[in-house]
């Protein structure tokens, strides 16, 4: 149970972990009234949830996830718990497992068997019987032959990371726990109740992936809403034992609506795009690498053929790629630089004139480091910046990639023309700021 008792918060550092029981704070979980998949962007889902009062809905405690709700006679066999990335779904399953193992809750359950879809993906090309699969993950179960005599809970965490086909429509019915087949067939039959029907199943997922499981296979859908306002305070008081420090942090968080709403970071890497710098737009002082991934101030003016696309008064360069719908995300390495500027801009910005105001009204949604200070708030010693845009939702967000931290979001933006990523390495400052800005590949599985 050490795997579930000791957890890492924020950036995992070797040897530094926290006892889950020391900081765990009850999350607000509620039953979903509709089975419809919500396709709104996750930042919007967080804001919507934050406006709902906890009094409007009946909360469900972690240890009660399989217990009958008021008006129900029997517990649900298959539960699906949805929630945006980072809201606490995995921690929830760890707490459920830990409390069961320590004898604090769910004494009627004989076995709790937690799996992640990341682990199951690795077995995509292999065949097991259900018994062999359990022995593969849980060596302690090797002496057990009849699971139908016990109350068993299977936890399947992270459906949104599943790379198995989960072909419910075409997979054959499989009822023999001793007969080998693909992991995909085992899972689909386990979930729909043909294989070990006495077992209870708990699936966690981000909302957009919920429809991978047919609605008729799920008895109840719950949703993790995160913390209510009192729970936010409770968490920070547990996390920071010194009362003056806890009070200061809570007060600061309450002053920022975006931080107060977003007690986690959406996983935006999945929207990563490939972008390269366009030499036809680069200011004559700038030098670009041959692959179009790096830019720095060369200190001297280069002779380039002039064209309407080229900047002449500011050290800017755009990418070749533009975006006029949907979502996209890119990352830029800013390590060892003393000044830089990056973000997105609209196609029609002026290229030849001096611009005195780099604001959304003038077509700029940017973040910059200048004179050692990061505009907006955050760590001036950033290593890498992530930029996420949801064009249709009018959202631009900046992230500290290494710290997995949200820096700033501009919401309610109005986009009426294509957007281009824009970079400025700023002046080389006598060599002190000569390090290039580097467009980095996005790790979409991180």
pLDDT digits (tens, 9 = 90+) for 217-237: 999 999 887 666 677 777 777
In sequence order, what are the residues at sequence separation of 6 or more whose Cβ sits closer than 8 angstroms to the Cβ of residue 202?
A: 65, 66, 78, 79, 81, 93, 96, 153, 154, 155, 156
In this structure, are residues 425 and 340 in contact, taking their beta carbons and an 8 Å threshold?
yes
β-strand partners of 30: 59, 223
pLDDT digits (tens, 9 = 90+) for 100-116: 988 999 999 999 999 99
Rounded to two decimals, what is the model's pTM? 0.55
* Rg of the chain in Å (alpha carbons): 26
In this structure, are residues 314 and 346 in contact, taking their beta carbons and an 8 Å threshold?
no
Say how far apart CA 223 and CA 277 lie, in whole Å. Answer: 42
Q: Delineate the domains of the chain, giving CATH numbers in brackets.
A: 2-235 (3.40.50.300), 269-440 (2.60.120.920)
Q: How many CA atoms lie within 13 A of 281 on its CB side?
A: 22
Whole-number average pLDDT of the chain: 82
26 is written with which tokens? Answer: 């009850």
Q: Strands (DSSP E) along 90-150, which ranges? A: 111-116, 127-128
The reported pLDDT for the residue numbered 38 is 44
In this structure, are residues 136 and 96 in contact, taking their beta carbons and an 8 Å threshold?
no
Say how far apart CA 393 and CA 216 lie, in whole Å. Answer: 32
DSSP state of 316: -
pLDDT digits (tens, 9 = 90+) for 288-326: 999 999 999 988 888 777 788 999 878 999 999 999 998
pLDDT digits (tens, 9 = 90+) for 389-431: 989 888 898 888 877 777 888 888 889 999 999 999 988 888 8
DSSP per residue, 258-310: HHHH-SS----GGGB----B-GGGS-TTEEE-TTS-EEEE-SS-------TT-
């Amino acid at each position: 149970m050490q795997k579930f008792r000791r957890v890492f918060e924020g950036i995992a550092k070797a040897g530094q972990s926290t006892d889950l029981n020391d900081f765990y704070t009850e999350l607000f979980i509620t039953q979903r009234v509709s089975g419809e998949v919500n396709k709104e962007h996750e930042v919007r889902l967080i804001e919507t949830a934050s406006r709902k009062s906890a009094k409007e809905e009946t909360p469900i405690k972690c240890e009660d996830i399989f217990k009958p709700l008021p008006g129900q006679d029997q517990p649900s066999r298959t539960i699906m718990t949805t929630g945006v990335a980072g809201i606490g779904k995995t921690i929830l399953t760890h707490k459920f497992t830990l409390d069961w193992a320590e004898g604090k809750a769910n004494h009627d359950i004989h076995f709790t068997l937690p799996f992640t879809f990341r682990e199951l993906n690795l077995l995509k090309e292999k065949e097991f019987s259900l018994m062999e699969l359990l022995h593969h993950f849980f060596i302690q179960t090797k002496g057990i032959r009849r699971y139908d005599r016990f109350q068993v809970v299977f936890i399947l965490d992270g459906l949104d990371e599943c790379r198995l086909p989960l072909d419910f429509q075409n997979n054959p019915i499989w009822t023999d726990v001793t007969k080998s087949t693909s992991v995909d067939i085992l899972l689909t039959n386990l979930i729909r109740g043909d294989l070990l029907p006495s077992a209870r199943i708990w699936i966690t997922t981000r909302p957009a992936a919920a429809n991978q499981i047919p609605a008729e296979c799920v008895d109840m859908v719950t949703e993790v809403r995160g913390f209510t306002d009192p729970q936010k305070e409770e968490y920070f008081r547990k996390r920071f034992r010194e009362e003056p420090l806890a009070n200061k942090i809570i007060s600061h968080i309450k002053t920022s609506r975006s931080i107060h709403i977003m007690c986690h970071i959406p996983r935006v890497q999945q929207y990563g795009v490939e972008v390269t710098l366009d030499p036809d737009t680069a200011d004559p002082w700038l030098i670009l690498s041959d692959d179009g991934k790096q830019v720095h101030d060369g200190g001297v003016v280069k002779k380039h053929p002039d064209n309407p696309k080229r900047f002449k008064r500011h050290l800017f360069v755009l990418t070749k790629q533009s975006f006029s719908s949907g979502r996209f995300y890119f990352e830029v390495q800013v390590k060892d630089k003393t000044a830089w500027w990056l973000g997105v801009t609209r196609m029609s910005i002026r290229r030849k004139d001096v611009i005195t105001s780099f604001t959304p009204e003038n077509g700029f949604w940017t973040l910059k480091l200048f004179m050692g200070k990061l505009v907006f708030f955050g760590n001036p010693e950033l290593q890498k910046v992530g930029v996420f845009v949801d064009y249709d939702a009018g959202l631009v967000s900046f992230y500290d990639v290494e710290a997995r931290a949200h820096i700033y979001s501009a919401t309610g933006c109005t986009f009426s023309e294509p957007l281009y990523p824009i970079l400025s390495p700023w002046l080389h400052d006598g060599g002190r700021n000569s390090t290039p800005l580097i467009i980095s590949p996005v790790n979409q599985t991180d």
